[in-house]
Amino acid sequence: SMDQAPVAAAPQDGYGHTSTANQDAALQSLSVAQKAVVSGELEKALKFARKSVSLYETEVGRELLAKLENPAEAAPPRASKAEPPAPAPAPAPAPAEPTGAPTAASAAPPAASEAPSQAAE
């Protein structure tokens, strides 16, 4: 009978305990994930968002995880794994500047003839 008592009590204690502990851990993980997003550490953010949702599913956690797993709107999916999404290096030469006039003149013909698709974009 000594064996039976703890077994009977365990499920109730265990479940109540686990869900509360999981909820706390999930919220902590979510907080870590959100801070990681802010600092641009997307891999870390994704890891902790997944952990949070797997421990205890919250709406905030699910939304964050969805955003991190489908960064199509924010950045190309390939780039998000290797590095935080940075602005493309293209905008460096500003064509509007007066100093860029000679460059623009010399760059325009090759751009038009070599890559018409680029010009269209």
Q: Write out pLDDT tens, residues 45-79.
A: 999 999 999 999 999 999 999 999 987 665 544 54
Strands of 5-108 (E only): list them: none
> Does residue 14 sit within a domain?
yes
| Residue at 40 is within a domain | yes
In this structure, is residue 99 part of a structural domain?
no
Q: Model-level pTM?
A: 0.46
| Domain extent at residue 34 | 1-70
Would you say residue 21 lies in a domain?
yes
Answer whether residue 10 is part of any domain.
yes
Q: Which two tokens stand for residue 3?
A: 């064996």
Residues 6+ apart with CB under 8 A from 104: 95
Q: For the beta carbon of residue 105, count every other beta carbon within 10 angstroms.
A: 9
> Is residue 101 domain-resident?
no
How would residue 10 be classed by pLDDT, with cut points 50, 70 and 90? very low
Give the model's confidence band at 11: pLDDT under 50 very low, under 70 low, under 90 confident, else very high: very low
| HSE-up (13 A, CA, CB side) for residue 21 | 6
- The average pLDDT across 112-116 equals 53
pLDDT at residue 12 tops 80 = no
Total domains in the chain come to 1
Of the candidates 29, 43, 114, 44, the one whose C-alpha atom is nearest the C-alpha of residue 80 is: 43
Q: What is the helix, strand, coil percentage profile of the chain, to 5?
A: 75, 0, 25
Q: Are 62 and 53 in contact (CB under 8 A)?
A: yes
Q: Does residue 90 lie within any of the structural domains? A: no
Task: Give the mean model confidence (pLDDT) for residues 81-94.
Answer: 54
Q: Is 40 left (phi over 0), alpha (psi -120 to 50) or beta?
A: left
Q: Is 15 within the bounds of a domain?
A: yes
Percentage of residues in the chain with pLDDT exceeding 70?
A: 44
